Amino acid sequence: MHEWEPIVDRQNRILAAFAEDSGESPLLPPSLHAVAPLTEPAAELAAKLGARSGQELALSDHPRGRQWHRVVVPAGTVAFLCAAATGVFAVAGGWVGIALAGSGTIATTVTAVWSAVYVLRDPLRLSARERRDWQRARSWHSGQPWSATLSAGPERRLVSAACLAVGRILASPAWHRDTLDEHRLQLDLRAELDGIDQQAFTLATAKTPLPAALTDALIERVTALGAYADQLDAVKPHHPVSTELPAKQPAELPEQQTTELLAGSVRDEYATGQLTSLTADLRGITSSGESRTSAD
């Protein structure tokens, strides 16, 4: 026997569970721009980024880039001026001037071309395609057609809370340590956001009362994601989730919508279990590290 909750009750419980502001515009579709990639980039790009990491370079910079303005541009400018002078001497009939200006043109052109090739072949230089790939790896955008009206609703707050939790996970130094290699394999952060986004949108577009368990499953999934982020950065848990069930209100849902919601609820419960297990494992790693520190 399902416990049913009206739309208003469902929305109020979401608002109560996730009252914090994510800082993004509520009228735009959910998105995330993280400091680290949600999914690992290609091996070649990852190796290049690793080699650049200790040099504090902007995305468009590279070690040999300074030579572009120091050598390539000046040499190209001098080559142009020498070529113009060669033309002037050719008209005037000054053979000595032609020889000197021509030699200067050749020398500076060779210098400019060689320097340009040297700069462009910098092994740490990111091409335009690689920069785009890196930006895509660090970004997530909702795949659901959130309208302005739906984006202003509380269901979107669930997605915003999930984005906030994922952003905190990626910003935590602990997430990138070798000890959590297994966690990074099991916890696909991009897939987490996609799943939460899809189920939240399905809840937002439901026009009839729904089983309260469907809302609970998604709230618990997002809460578990936040709890994992809490364990990473050692902050206090977020607002507790209400477990109060609303009054029964029998209603019939369209068959397709019921199937989608139930399938999403199963995925929520599975993800919640996985996140809870990983959080417990992380807590064990932390306790073990503290024990070794005390023993030393």
User: Which residue has 């209400």 as its token pair?
Assistant: 242
If DSSP codes are grouped into helix, strand and coil, which group holds residue 70? helix
Cα gap 116→177, rounded to integer Å: 38
Pairing of strands 4-5, 31-33: unpaired
Cα gap 180→33, rounded to integer Å: 22
**CA nearest neighbour of 2 among 280, 265, 291:** 265
Tokens of 11: 């929305």
pLDDT, tens digit, 9 for 90 and up, residues 272-296: 877 888 888 777 766 665 555 554 5
Kindly report which listed range (14-23, 38-47, 70-79, 103-112) carries the lowest average pLDDT score. Answer: 14-23
Cα gap 281→90, rounded to integer Å: 81
**What is the pLDDT at residue 110?**
86
User: 122 — phi, psi (to 5°)?
Assistant: -60, 120
Angle between helices 212-233 and 154-171 (to 10 degrees): 20
User: 160 — phi, psi (to 5°)?
Assistant: -60, -40
The percent of residues in the chain predicted with pLDDT above 70, rounded, is: 74
**CA nearest neighbour of 232 among 278, 293, 191:** 278
User: 39 — phi, psi (to 5°)?
Assistant: -125, 150
Kindly report which listed range (10-14, 109-113, 156-160) carries the lowest average pLDDT score. Answer: 10-14
Does residue 101 contact residue 85 with C-beta atoms inside 8 Å? yes
Q: Is the pLDDT of residue 50 over 70?
A: yes
Q: Is the pLDDT of residue 190 over 90?
A: yes
CA dihedral angle for residue 130, residue 232, residue 160, residue 275, rounded to 10 degrees = 100
Does residue 188 contact residue 176 with C-beta atoms inside 8 Å? no
